Amino acid sequence: MRSLSEDKETSMLRTFVLVAGLGLAACQPAAAPELDGAPPTSAPVAPVPETPAASPPPLGMTAIPSQYLGKWDADAVECKQASIMTLTISPNELRFHEAIGEIETVSADGANAIKVAGPFDGEGETWNGELRLELSADGNTLSTTSNGTVTQRVRCP
């Protein structure tokens, strides 16, 4: 006849083996369902709608638009002489007093504004830059924004 302590040991051992077996079974990957040669099926997935851009650039915008082109400076007096505020804009270039930017991308940024980006070179350094150019309603004032700093210039004759 078995003693009470032997029954407890046997019961504890069975419990341990059962718990260990369940733990190992939980770690095993689930068996793949039988497919009977048929391809797997899944519930249909609704297409995700595309989010429209807030202000898409005009099709074919590969250069700075003509209304931005020309010479810009601090005021009409500065337009008549060399100035550290001079900015000359051509279709693919921004030319400042001591820096030149070769424009690689142009995108619309509102009704009267664009963003331009590309490599810049000036004062012995090179960097990639992005500027926002915004025209006044009459097209005679240009606001440039770079790194949070806004500079206004007037169109030179």
CB proximity list for 75: less than 8 A, separation 6 or greater: 154
Phi, psi of 15 (to 5 degrees): -65, -45
- What pLDDT is stored for residue 111 in this prediction? 87
Q: Confirm whether 80 is domain-assigned.
A: yes
Check pLDDT > 90 for residue 26: no
Q: Confirm whether 85 is domain-assigned.
A: yes
Which of 5-9, 52-56, 117-121 is the most confident on average? Answer: 117-121
DSSP string, 2-64: --HHHHHHHHHHHHHHHHHHHHHHHHSPPPPPP-TTPPP-----PPPPPPPPSSPPPTT--S-
Q: Confirm whether 132 is domain-assigned.
A: yes
DSSP character at residue 68: G
Mean pLDDT of the chain: 75
Q: Confirm whether 57 is domain-assigned.
A: no
- What pLDDT is stored for residue 9 in this prediction? 45
Q: Confirm whether 23 is domain-assigned.
A: no
Q: Confirm whether 149 is domain-assigned.
A: yes
114 burial (CB, 10 Å; 0-12 / 13-18 / 19+) is buried
Q: How many domains does the chain have?
A: 1
pLDDT tens readout for residues 120-131: 999 999 999 999
Q: Confirm whether 75 is domain-assigned.
A: yes
**Lowest-pLDDT range of 1-10, 60-69, 78-87, 102-111:** 1-10
Q: Which domain holds residue 80?
A: 66-155
Q: Confirm whether 82 is domain-assigned.
A: yes
- What pLDDT is stored for residue 15 in this prediction? 39
- What pLDDT is stored for residue 31 in this prediction? 45
pTM, 2 dp: 0.62
Q: What is the CATH number of the domain that holds 76?
A: 2.40.128
Check pLDDT > 60 for residue 60: no
- What pLDDT is stored for residue 62 in this prediction? 82
